[in-house]
Amino acid sequence: MTTMSDSISNHFHLTLPSNSSMNIYPNNTTSQFVTKLPKHIELMGDWIVSLKEISVPITLVNIAANTYTLEIKDTATQEVGDRQSLPASTHIGISTIINELNKLVKQRYGISFRPHMVQGRRWVRVELSSSRYSIRLNGPLSELLGFLAGRVFVRGRNAPEKPPSYRD
């Protein structure tokens, strides 16, 4: 155990990487993590503790619960058959978001989210293999993927209207 008191040292630094304790805390993410310190530190007396620096990958996308949603409609009845939300998670790059979207809708509805390159940048295309369903993304998910809010996707390849808001 290390004891820190005002008389011995008035400052010290800790580096706490999010991936340093994955064997103990396997559910750590870049934005929410616990780190096991190499030794116990006990602060004696009055201390001011602060975060001095944070480093985050530029492609990090933090998904909060029920923020990015989509709804599937049966085109014959025009009834909403299903509403899905991306699970809360932190994603590094668009490919992990595409994988999550495809897990929600690909097998059941024949809807695929596919990456494609435009001017050296990765964009997302929505493909529906059947005319039985249509899909609508909510505003935040539309913006993230580069589509206009409220757009309804139907059978065929649906390309975005603008650059996506993420950087890959």
The 3 state secondary structure assigned to the chain is CEEECCCCCCCCCCCCCCCCCCCCCCCCCCCCCCCCCCCCEEECCCCCCCCCCCCCCCCEEEECCCCCEEEEEECCCCCEEEEEECCCEEEECHHHHHHHHHHHHHHHHCEEEEEEEECCEEEEEEEECCCCEEEEECHHHHHHHCCCCCCEECCEEECCCCCCCCCC
Average pLDDT of 105-130? 81
pLDDT of residue 42: 84
pLDDT interval class at 56 (50, 70, 90): low
pTM value is 0.62
Tens-digit pLDDT profile for residues 21-43: 888 888 877 667 888 888 888 88
pLDDT of residue 5: 45
